[in-house]
Amino acid sequence: PQMTERVKYHLGIYSGRLKNVIGRYIVRRKKYFPMIEDIFKSKNLPLELAYVSMLESGFNPKALSHAGARGLWQFMPATARRYGLTVNKSLDERIEPRKATYAAAEYFKDLISIFGGKRSVMLAIAAYNAGEHRIIGALRQIEDPMRNRDFWYIYRMGILADETNEYIPRILALMIITENQVEFGFKEPERDKNASLESEDDFIELGF
């Protein structure tokens, strides 16, 4: 019930006051989604993970957050370097879509190896947002991990930050809208030839 309620809430926000923003994300999806899918297929990763980029950056390879995360996958410098990307004063490979996506694929592989696949892949997605140590700490508080080791159980426990609790419902909402654009009133927006869809400024961190 909590999942359904929160997904519906974000569906309302994304098809309401943030409709223009999501419309731009859908436009960029056409450019970058096939590349992401090809790389994730080559790594045997669930293709649904591609929507993490939609939430993180709106598929904008130049997106820059207030915290300093950058690129399609919003890597912080330390995480980017850990997965083979060069980040220094003269070069920032976080803004190179293909290289950043290969790095994200390796990161997801590591997270899935820690938290498991199939029904546990949501734990890996939550760890992408919160960091693996926070999710491990939450899992350690489950009294019966043989039965209850999944994201929605720790969600109901209320021990994760609101941002992480909402991360999965927000991704699910983006998936539903993208796959049902007409039903949610989306059509391809007219593009302003003088405006760039891939600038650092064309990025809004999707709120709750």
Residues labelled as active-site residues: 56
CA distance 36 to 50: 6
**Both tokens assigned to 110:** 């590591």
CA distance 158 to 60: 32
Contacts of 96 (CB under 8 A, 6+ apart): 61, 71
**Both tokens assigned to 190:** 């007219």
CA distance 86 to 92: 6
Specify whether the CB–CB gap between 70 and 63 falls below 8 A. yes
